[in-house]
Amino acid sequence: MKAELAKPFIKAAVDVLSMMAMVTPIPGKPYVKKGKTAVGDVTGLVGITGDMNGTISISFTKSCAVTIVKNMLGDDIQDIIQDVQDAVGEITNMVSGQARAGLAEHGLTFSGSTPSVIMGDNHTIAHISSTPIMAIPFNSDAGEFTIEFCFE
């Protein structure tokens, strides 16, 4: 997989989280992920179809997810678990959409499914691909998160 395909994901994460949650993500070095265990505690997952098929996920640590929700909703938190699920799903949708628009500039056209959200310590992510899974770690004042993607 070409390393430049990570750039639309990095830009999307920085743009969306800066705008929606007042969080400034700092990307780390992309790497090929081994195994299926999520890096974080809350993961949004989107299936993609089009020129290739695959998946995009964003896994947040608990503290990062809660901080993002508080920044997005202010004091209007009704049910922290439901609000975290909703916010992670929405952020996954927005980052995925913007990244897919960036990938179109590389000649790759994709449609995305409705995000699903998985929560829990050491949960697994079943990426739909036999190709390597690229992972991009991020740090921020809110905590850490990782974007993973793969296409075939």
pLDDT digits (tens, 9 = 90+) for 17-35: 999 999 999 999 999 999 8
Q: 0.75 exceeded by the pTM? A: yes
At 86-131, the pLDDT tens digits run 999 999 999 999 999 999 998 889 999 999 999 999 999 988 778 8
| β-pairing verdict for 133-140 and 26-27 | antiparallel
DSSP-derived secondary structure letter, 5: G
